[in-house]
Structure 1
Amino acid sequence: MMGLCWTAQAHEGTPHDTLAAGSDQLALEVDEAEAIGSAEVLQKIHANNLAEIDMGQMIMDRGNSEDLRKYGRILVRDHLIMDGMVNIVAKGLGVELDGASVNDDVAGFKESLIEMNEMLAATTSDEEFRAMLRAMAIESHQAALDLLRRAEKGAPDLSLRLLAKTSDPVISRHLQLAKEI
């Protein structure tokens, strides 16, 4: 099982406990690229882009150093661009990104992303914010890369495979930057 989940070293009685406990809700189970449909992949990428944009805004607002604020700007810029591409591909494939067509798995995924951003916003110290951000960003970007690479190899639609291929280097860069936080 591949998982998109944010975990951090658990410290009893802290938001880290909730991160670890919530990771099951955020898990993306993708055993084969073919096992996940184009609509679900696009909806999850869209939800992740929106969450990363929100996170980037939060980092720009709360970041106590220029490196954090720069990372926030990069997240906002890149995920806005990628979400524009997702919308184009979705429109071409007739996929609705939000609304009634979103299945329970995608809805739960979106809910978990919102909860994770709320937990990050609730941190009380700069050190806690930075540590939680780093853990969340590394795991989320690694899982996004796993999903993109599976879609690139096995998605039924050429446009989705191309989207995955062009998004890979951007998300790889985000992952590297997250490791440097």
Structure 2
Amino acid sequence: MTGWDCIHGQLGPFWSHRQSFVSGHHTSVRTELVRCPSGSSLAEAKRYKRRRKMKHIPYLAAAGLVGALMLATPVVAQAASPTRAMPAHSSVTPANTGSSTDTAADISRQDRIFLRKAHQGNLAEIKAGRLALRKGRCEAVRHVAHVLIEDHSRMDIELRSLADRFDVRLPKTPSTAQLRQLAKVAALTGREFDVAWLQLQAAWHRETIELIRKELSRGRSPEVKALARKAAPVIKHHLRLIDEATEHCCR
């Protein structure tokens, strides 16, 4: 029996099928004809076939290792790639810009009334002081007039600055009642003028003290209330000067 006969006669067609698997997937099938050595017996043919199979085991193991590495590569690459952070949805509170729109809501109706009336009072006092400097007969009257012009001009500068900040529109003239009262005094002369002028100043300053009291008790804005509180001792000082001038000029 020849080597070929040992395959066909005893074993039938002797085919060795070498298959490669990569990660559980059939990738290729390679079939080759294996022939026994010449003069081999059946037992030898079986041993030869077994040796051929053992010879291909390292190749199959290597192919399996390559397949495992190929599958592991994307996972490693994905782990190594930087993770893109999701943008955080944060709530941002706008800073207070201090604009007139923001600050206008911080004052009450009482605050606005005080700013307007106090401004008109300042304008009326300045106008009355200038009138007394021209027509006053008594030196004490003219002294009071000078103090009123200086103090009310200074206080009105602060008041107008605060009104601008709070977007409060101020009158441009004294009130109609103040202008009418001042016109009556302006029509007088000599001692009658001094007496009437001092009486009008006393009445106006008492009204201003009452206006300040209402603002301090009913006002909401700390800034406006601070302005009223600062003006209070000045107005009281004016009242004392008016009382002293009345005693000196109207006896």
TM-score by length of 2: 0.52
Q: Does 1:166 align with 2:226?
A: no
1:75: which partner in 2? 148
Q: 1 CA distance for matches of 2:197 and 2:244?
A: 11
Q: Tell me which of 155, 175, 179 is aligned to 2:239.
A: 175
Moved over 4 A (4+): none
Q: CA deviation at 1:65?
A: 2.7
2:201: which partner in 1? 137
Whether the aligned pair in 1 keeps the contact of 2:122 and 2:156 (CA below 8 Å) is yes
Q: 1 CA distance for matches of 2:137 and 2:221?
A: 43
| Equivalences for residues 88-107 of structure 1 within 5 A | 88-98=161-171
User: In the TM superposition, what whole-angstrom CA distance separates every residue of 1:31-84 from its partner, at most 9, and x where no partner exists?
Assistant: xxxx95222211111111001000000111111132111111101000101111
Q: CA deviation at 1:178?
A: 1.2
1:126: which partner in 2? 190
Q: 2 CA distance for matches of 1:113 and 1:159?
A: 27
The one-letter amino acid of 2:136's match is G
1:56: which partner in 2? 129
1:114: which partner in 2? 179
TM-score by length of 1: 0.71
Whether the aligned pair in 2 keeps the contact of 1:120 and 1:133 (CA below 8 Å) is yes
Indicate how the Cα distance of structure 1 residues 36 and 144 shifts in structure 2: closer, same or farther if over 3 A, else same.
Answer: farther
1:71 match: secondary structure: helix
Structure in which a larger fraction of residues adopt strand:
2
Q: CA deviation at 1:153?
A: 2.6
Give the greater-gyration-radius structure (CA): 2
Gap runs ≥5 in structure 1: 1-34, 100-106
Instruction: Name the count of aligned residue pairs.
Output: 139
Q: Which structure ranks higher in relative contact order (CA pairs < 8 Å, sequence separation ≥ 6)?
A: 1
Whether the aligned pair in 2 keeps the contact of 1:154 and 1:161 (CA below 8 Å) is no
Structure in which a larger fraction of residues adopt helix:
1
Whether the aligned pair in 2 keeps the contact of 1:138 and 1:175 (CA below 8 Å) is yes
Whether the aligned pair in 1 keeps the contact of 2:137 and 2:191 (CA below 8 Å) is no
User: In the TM superposition, what whole-angstrom CA distance separates every residue of 1:109-138 from its partner, at most 9, and x where no partner exists?
Assistant: 700111111111101x31211221121111
Gap runs ≥5 in structure 2: 1-107, 246-251
Q: CA deviation at 1:163?
A: 0.4
The one-letter amino acid of 1:119's match is K
Indicate how the Cα distance of structure 1 residues 76 and 38 shifts in structure 2: closer, same or farther if over 3 A, else same.
Answer: same
